[in-house]
């Protein structure tokens, strides 16, 4: 009798396709979510994608600066350093007014205190009392002047500078950025343009329809735009995920103007007030995502009408 042939085993059933699960970065693979992940392109629990794609964050280098998540002063200082560095890379020359005042008042108070101490060592303490009292009063006056300068003149200014560009003529961009931190979620972004803004100029074509009425920037004279603002889109999508729109916020106020003819002709003037939650820039371990800050700042400058240094020639001062 011929041997019986062994029946072929039937192939195993195909596994069902993986279906993306809301709240996870990839289908079927659970990953920890955070406010930074929600703000950098992963799908939030509400099913909406945020403004910055995840691929951009994945291409960024690992954070090299680590701060204390519970210290807003330390977080603000780290974010301010990134803002200063980015503007310097855009060929802006910083103003030396505030550093000069800081150094002058600070060193003057130190020299006054040191001189009074040396004087008291040469003569008796009783004879040096009048000089010591004058030194104490002078030191207090200088330090009070420095405090008043920071509070009422500097007002949280992070960067102030200018750059010159060659666009058929020499044009000068003036930029001032003021930063602050709050314990409340950031408000809606606001971008206003001066009535002196000329849309026909290649450097002053605004793209944001967001406007507010103010004495310096009347809303009736703002140029219209048909495209939605990137700042408003970023603000709405950043608050879509859970936790992305809550917690402390980092606020920036940008004052931008473009002039020519040695400042005699105003070409463009705008003002922007925007903010984002701190969790969109700081991860759970306290690492500062510099790439996120740079992309956000680039969007702010673009919406305010600043021409990038890579787009047009820059004339060194």
- pLDDT tens digit sequence for 140-154: 999 999 999 999 999
CA distance 80 to 89: 14
Among candidate residues 111, 132, 154, the one where a domain is terminated: 154
pLDDT of residue 247: 82
If pLDDT is split at 50, 70 and 90, which confidence band does 218 have? very low
Q: Are residues 230 and 279 in the same domain?
A: yes
Domain boundary among 137, 154, 171: 154
Strands 157-166 and 93-94 come out as antiparallel
- What are residue 288's DSSP bridge partners? 282
d(CA 199, CA 183): 38
- Parent domain of 299: 72-95+157-308
Average pLDDT in the 176-181 region?
Answer: 96
298 and 257 co-located in one domain: yes
CA–CA dist 192, 57 (Å, integer):
30
Q: Nearest to residue 95, comparing CAs of 51, 49, 160, 178?
A: 160
Same domain membership, residue 85 and residue 229? yes
Contacts of 70 (CB under 8 A, 6+ apart): none
Taking residue 87's Cβ as centre, other Cβ atoms within 10 Å add up to 21
The answer to whether residues 140 and 175 belong to one domain is no
Give the residue from 248, 252, 280, 276 showing the smallest Cα distance to 41: 280
Q: Is residue 315 part of a domain?
A: no
Q: In terms of domains, do 301 and 205 share one?
A: yes
Same domain for 77 and 180, yes or no, is: yes
Q: Are residues 164 and 280 in the same domain?
A: yes
Would you place residue 308 in the very low, low, confident or very high pLDDT band (cuts 50, 70, 90)?
Answer: low
Structural domain includes residue 59 = no
Domains in the chain, number: 2
Residue 38 lies in a domain: no
Q: Are residues 141 and 284 in the same domain?
A: no
113 closest CA partner among 89, 84, 138, 147: 138
Considering the domain architecture, whether residues 150 and 86 belong to the same structural domain is answered as no
70-92 mean pLDDT: 95
55-82 as b/e: b if 16+ CB within 10 A = eebeeeeebeeebebeebeebbebbbeb
What is the reported pLDDT for 55? Answer: 58
The backbone torsions φ and ψ at residue 117, rounded to the nearest 5 degrees and listed phi first, read: -65, -45
Is residue 282's pLDDT more than 70?
yes
Q: Are 149 and 289 in a shared domain?
A: no
Average pLDDT (277-294) is: 94
Residues 266 and 146 in one domain: no
Predicted pLDDT at 240: 42
Residues 144 and 183 in one domain: no
Single residue among 119, 139, 154 that ends a domain in this structure: 154
Considering the domain boundaries, does residue 23 fall inside one?
no
- pLDDT higher than 90, residue 131: yes
pTM beyond 0.75, yes or no: no
| Residues 189 and 207: beta-carbon distance below 8 Å | no
Phi-psi region of 302 (alpha: psi -120 to 50; beta: other; left: phi over 0): alpha
Residue 102's SS3 state is helix
């Amino acid at each position: 009798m011929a041997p019986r042939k062994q029946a072929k085993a039937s192939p195993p059933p195909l596994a069902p396709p993986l279906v993306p699960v809301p709240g996870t970065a990839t289908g079927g693979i659970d990953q920890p979510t955070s406010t930074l992940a929600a703000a950098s392109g992963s799908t939030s629990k509400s099913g909406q994608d945020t403004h910055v794609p995840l691929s951009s964050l994945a291409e960024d280098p690992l954070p090299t600066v680590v701060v204390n998540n519970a210290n807003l002063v330390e977080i603000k200082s780290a974010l301010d350093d990134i803002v200063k560095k980015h503007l310097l890379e855009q060929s802006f020359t910083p103003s030396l007014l505030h550093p000069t005042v800081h150094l002058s008042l600070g060193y003057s108070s130190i020299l006054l205190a040191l001189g009074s101490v040396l004087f008291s060592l040469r003569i008796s303490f009783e004879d040096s009392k009048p000089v010591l009292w004058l030194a104490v009063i002078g030191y207090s006056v200088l330090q009070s002047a420095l405090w008043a300068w920071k509070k009422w003149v500097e007002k949280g200014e992070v960067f102030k500078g200018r750059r010159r560009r060659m666009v058929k003529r020499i044009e000068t961009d003036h930029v001032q950025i003021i930063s602050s931190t709050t314990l409340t979620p950031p408000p809606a972004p606001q971008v206003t343009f001066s009535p002196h803004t000329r849309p026909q100029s290649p450097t002053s074509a605004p793209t944001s329809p967001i406007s507010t009425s103010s004495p310096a920037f009347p809303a009736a004279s703002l140029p219209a735009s048909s495209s939605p603002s990137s700042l408003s889109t970023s603000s709405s999508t950043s608050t879509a995920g859970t936790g992305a729109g809550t917690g402390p916020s980092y606020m920036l106020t940008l004052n931008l103007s473009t002039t020519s003819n040695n400042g005699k002709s105003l070409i463009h003037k705008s003002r922007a007030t925007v903010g984002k939650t701190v969790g969109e820039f700081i991860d759970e371990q306290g690492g500062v995502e510099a790439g996120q800050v740079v992309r956000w700042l680039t969007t702010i400058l673009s919406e305010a009408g600043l021409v990038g240094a890579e787009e047009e020639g820059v004339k060194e001062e």
